[in-house]
């Protein structure tokens, strides 16, 4: 007990001494800096944009920042940054966009993103005493003519990856490759995707016998979407595929579709409520006789889905509900849902949740011969089920000083 009291006393003295440590603030005008709520800001951002106060509480902020992410036509990502003023800056809102190209390194992108943020802060800083310390310059010479895009918005991308993993009784090898050809413009979207996936696992049992399992799939998918107006779109998708996991040697599908967004597509980075319907045809050449005594099959199907996405200062929601069934037997259906939530409950308290689940009644390719225990254990083959689900949740609570400006990388702690 005495040892515990001594340790607590030493800890108290240490933290008391540390809390009274003199802080030399080189920025003597910090008190006049803009208070910004930007929880996504990393150490690099705080170092490069050091003329604002990063606050932890939304209510204390003069400006808060929301970041939304979308796939870009180049194969990269489009980040939309919403800057919203409040208190004395109420009504001063702005929207910035930064594109991360697939061939850019993280360092190149973060320099570009920080530069964009700096420019975005200027209109707010002009109304603070700090405005006298800024000097805006244009560093790039302007050409007299405008160059055109020789690729006409077409983007081509290839990738190849593999992995090795092993020990005395287990070895695993995998290979993955893909090719994509995309053209995304405001009026239409065309996407082609080819992929190949192969993996092999080898197990050595206690009696020294070896058991191997493999899984491979390949496919071609083509999508075309035509913009009709700010609420309606139409399109068509088709594709070929093969999957050892799904027990089919060949599958062909084609399906036209139509979509309506209750909100204008121009607001897609902040909110979407899309309803899509598609109806089409599928052809299957199964790897073995199925539980329904089929070797090949021609099927008509349809699918209805609704997706709600919203990004606000209190958090974000991404929810999709989907229903599909085959026309020859409406009992062969599938009802699924996916949700991802990130919500700020109150000051310092955040909750995150993601999950998905399905009611499964459409496993037409299951083999009549059954599935081995080994395939069930290794999950290399689809198994019969009436449902599937996945879930994750977490929460965090932070309290203390509202400021979060300092960056100290020492010791890596």
Task: Report how many helices (DSSP H) and strands (DSSP E) the chain contains, helices first.
Answer: 4, 17
Tell me phi and psi for residue 89, to 5 degrees.
-105, 15
- 370: left (phi > 0), else alpha (psi -120 to 50), else beta? left
Mean residue pLDDT across the chain: 84
CA dist., res. 92 & res. 82, Å (int): 11
CA dist., res. 47 & res. 146, Å (int): 36
Torsion angle (degrees, nearest 10) of CA 149, 151, 153, 158? -140
- The correct CATH number of 228-397 out of 2.40.50, 2.60.40, 1.10.8, 2.40.160 is 2.40.160
What mean pLDDT is predicted for residues 152-180? 91
Cβ count within 10 A of residue 261: 20
pLDDT band at 366 (very low <50, low <70, confident <90, very high): very high
pLDDT for 302 beyond 80: yes
pLDDT for 297 beyond 60: yes
Which pLDDT belongs to residue 372? Answer: 82
Which pLDDT belongs to residue 146? Answer: 44
Tell me phi and psi for residue 16, to 5 degrees.
-65, -45
Reported as a single tens digit per residue, the pLDDT across 381-398 is 888 899 999 999 998 887
Q: pTM of the predicted model, to two decimals?
A: 0.67
pLDDT for 111 beyond 80: yes
Contact 404, 379 (CB under 8 A): no
Which pLDDT belongs to residue 14? Answer: 45
CA 72 to centroid of chain Cα atoms:
13
Q: State the DSSP string of 342-366.
A: EEEEETTEEEEEEEEEEEE---TT-
Contact 64, 313 (CB under 8 A): yes
pLDDT for 116 beyond 50: yes
How far lies 315's CA from each of 37, 48, 58, 333, in Å?
Answer: 13, 26, 12, 34
Handedness of CA 181, 306, 297, 367 (dihedral sign): positive
Which pLDDT belongs to residue 226? Answer: 93
How far lies 76's CA from each of 104, 149, 180, 181, in Å?
Answer: 9, 17, 12, 13
What mean pLDDT is predicted for residues 263-267? 85
Which pLDDT belongs to residue 143? Answer: 58
All CATH 2.40.160 domain ranges of the chain, comma separated, are 228-397
Cβ count within 10 A of residue 404: 19
Reported as a single tens digit per residue, the pLDDT across 185-195 is 888 899 999 99
Q: State the DSSP string of 164-232.
A: EEEETTEEEEEEEEEEEEEEE-SSEEEEEEEEEEEEEEEEE-TTS-EEEEEEEEEEEEEEEEEE-SSSE
Q: What class does CATH assign to 28-131?
A: alpha beta
């Amino acid at each position: 007990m005495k040892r515990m009291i001594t340790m607590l006393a030493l800890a108290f003295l240490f933290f008391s001494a540390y809390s009274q440590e003199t802080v030399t603030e080189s920025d003597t005008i910090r008190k006049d800096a803009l208070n910004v709520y930007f929880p996504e800001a990393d150490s690099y951002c705080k170092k490069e944009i050091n003329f604002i106060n990063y606050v932890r509480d939304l209510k204390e902020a003069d400006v808060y920042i929301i970041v939304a992410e979308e796939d870009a036509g180049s194969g990269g990502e489009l980040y939309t940054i919403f800057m919203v003023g409040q208190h004395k800056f109420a009504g001063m809102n702005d929207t910035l966009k930064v594109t991360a190209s697939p061939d850019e390194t993280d360092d190149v992108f973060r320099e570009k993103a920080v530069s964009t943020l700096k420019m975005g802060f200027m209109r707010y800083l002009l109304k603070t005493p700090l405005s006298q310390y800024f000097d805006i310059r244009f560093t790039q010479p302007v050409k007299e003519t405008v160059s055109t895009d020789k690729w006409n918005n077409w983007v081509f991308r290839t990738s190849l990856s593999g992995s090795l993993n092993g020990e005395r009784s287990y070895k695993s090898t995998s290979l993955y490759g893909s090719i994509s050809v995309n053209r995304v413009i405001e009026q239409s979207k065309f996407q082609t995707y080819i992929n190949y996936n192969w993996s092999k696992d080898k197990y050595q049992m206690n009696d020294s016998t070896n058991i191997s399992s493999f899984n491979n799939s390949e496919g071609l998918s083509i999508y075309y979407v035509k913009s009709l107006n700010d609420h309606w779109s139409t399109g068509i998708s088709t594709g070929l595929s093969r999957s050892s996991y799904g027990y089919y040697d060949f599958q062909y599908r084609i399906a036209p579709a139509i979509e309506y967004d209750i909100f204008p597509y121009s607001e897609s980075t902040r909110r979407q409520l899309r309803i899509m319907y598609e109806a089409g045809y599928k052809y299957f050449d199964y790897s073995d006789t199925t539980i329904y005594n089929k070797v090949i099959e021609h099927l008509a199907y349809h699918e209805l889905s609704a997706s709600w996405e919203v990004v606000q200062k209190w958090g974000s929601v991404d929810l999709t509900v989907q229903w599909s069934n085959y026309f020859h037997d409406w009992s062969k259906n599938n009802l699924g849902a996916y949700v991802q939530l990130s919500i700020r409950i109150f000051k310092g308290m955040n909750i995150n949740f993601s999950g998905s689940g399905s009611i499964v009644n459409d496993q037409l390719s299951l083999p009549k011969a059954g599935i081995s225990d080994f395939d069930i254990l290794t999950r290399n083959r689809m198994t019969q089920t009436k449902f599937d689900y996945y879930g994750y949740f977490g929460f965090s609570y932070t309290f203390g000083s509202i400021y979060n400006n300092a960056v100290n990388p020492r010791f890596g702690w």
